[in-house]
Amino acid sequence: MKNKSSIITTAIQTINMEADAILNLSSLIDDEFAEAVQHIYNSKGRLIITGVGKSAIIANKIVATLNSTGTPSIFMHAADAIHGDLGLILKDDIVVCISKSGNTAEIKVLIPLIKSAKNKIIAITGRKDSFLGQQADYILNSYVEKEACPNNLAPTTSTTAQLVIGDALAVCLLELRGFSSNDFAKYHPGGALGKRLYLRVEDISSVNLKPKVFKDTGIKDIIIEMTEKMLGVTAVVENDAIIGIITDGDLRRMLSKADDFLALTAKDIMGTNPKRIKADAMALEAKEVMEIYGISQLLVEENGKYAGVVHLHDLIKEGII
């Protein structure tokens, strides 16, 4: 049985081997890669990405990355393609075939069928002299010298290289399309990533209660308001405009300093320069302001009027933090 030291050594060797292989890919990026990217960008069709075995798994991931960054893509298993799924491929579609060897039986059957339909073929392969390499219109070279597997058999380094080539392809297309963070949010509306890009302060603060008092409101009523609204803070307003803020911390400091606090009013204990944020600001901006000032609440304004409170816990709940 291997001890911990030898396990760690093997893990590090695997990572270093794959890292070296990825670095070597940069020397394989050439004009043909750029031409393939330009052809995809100018195409009216979709990308159909296919492979078998581990390459099929990589194809699925590349499809997901491309779809989420503005390049419509579909996964087609090479084995299923020759048993009926070729109907997925439309006239203007481009087919990306992923294969380390470029000589698998499924690929040899599939490629002539694609070529007979006159669809362009882009190969992601480590063998330019393979059947796939010779038949493809463009080759994206994913050559690796050796698998990380000690027997040089299990797809490890080669599938990592395929994945990186797919990422490079997706990022190049993303930049050509001018794909922005707002575009990204459209494709990720339900996840935390999307929320960071599209969720606004008003989307959060509007569901909260809206604590407010006036400058002559007494301490007892201030405490009741803050307790009922459960946000640990209340705005002090005048003509619906924010003139101050009272936090739980202000109340504690008042209790430690004043013997006769029942006679005090909001104007005696409020902070007069509260941090605030506009209702239409991004929720991510609220997070950044809270981090800068080390606070857990922000008062929200809309058209110069008090509009509510956004709390640190709201941002955590929504996945912004």
How far apart are the C-alpha atoms of 35 and 24, rounded to whole Å? 20
How far apart are the C-alpha atoms of 185 and 173, rounded to whole Å? 17
Strands 297-302 and 305-311: antiparallel
How far apart are the C-alpha atoms of 221 and 211, rounded to whole Å? 11
Any binding-site annotation on 77? yes
How far apart are the C-alpha atoms of 157 and 151, rounded to whole Å? 12
How far apart are the C-alpha atoms of 236 and 218, rounded to whole Å? 12
How far apart are the C-alpha atoms of 67 and 180, rounded to whole Å? 14
Residues 6+ apart with CB under 8 A from 252: none
- Find, among 24, 320, 300, 29, the residue nearest to 172 by Cα: 29
Q: Which helix (H) or strand (E) holds 243?
A: strand 241-247
Q: What is the CA radius of gyration of the chain?
A: 30
DSSP string, 202-213: HHHHTTS---EE
Rounded to 5°, the CA angle 137-141-144 comes to 150
SS3 219: helix
Binding residues, as ranges, are: 77
Binding residues for Zn(2+), as ranges, are: 77
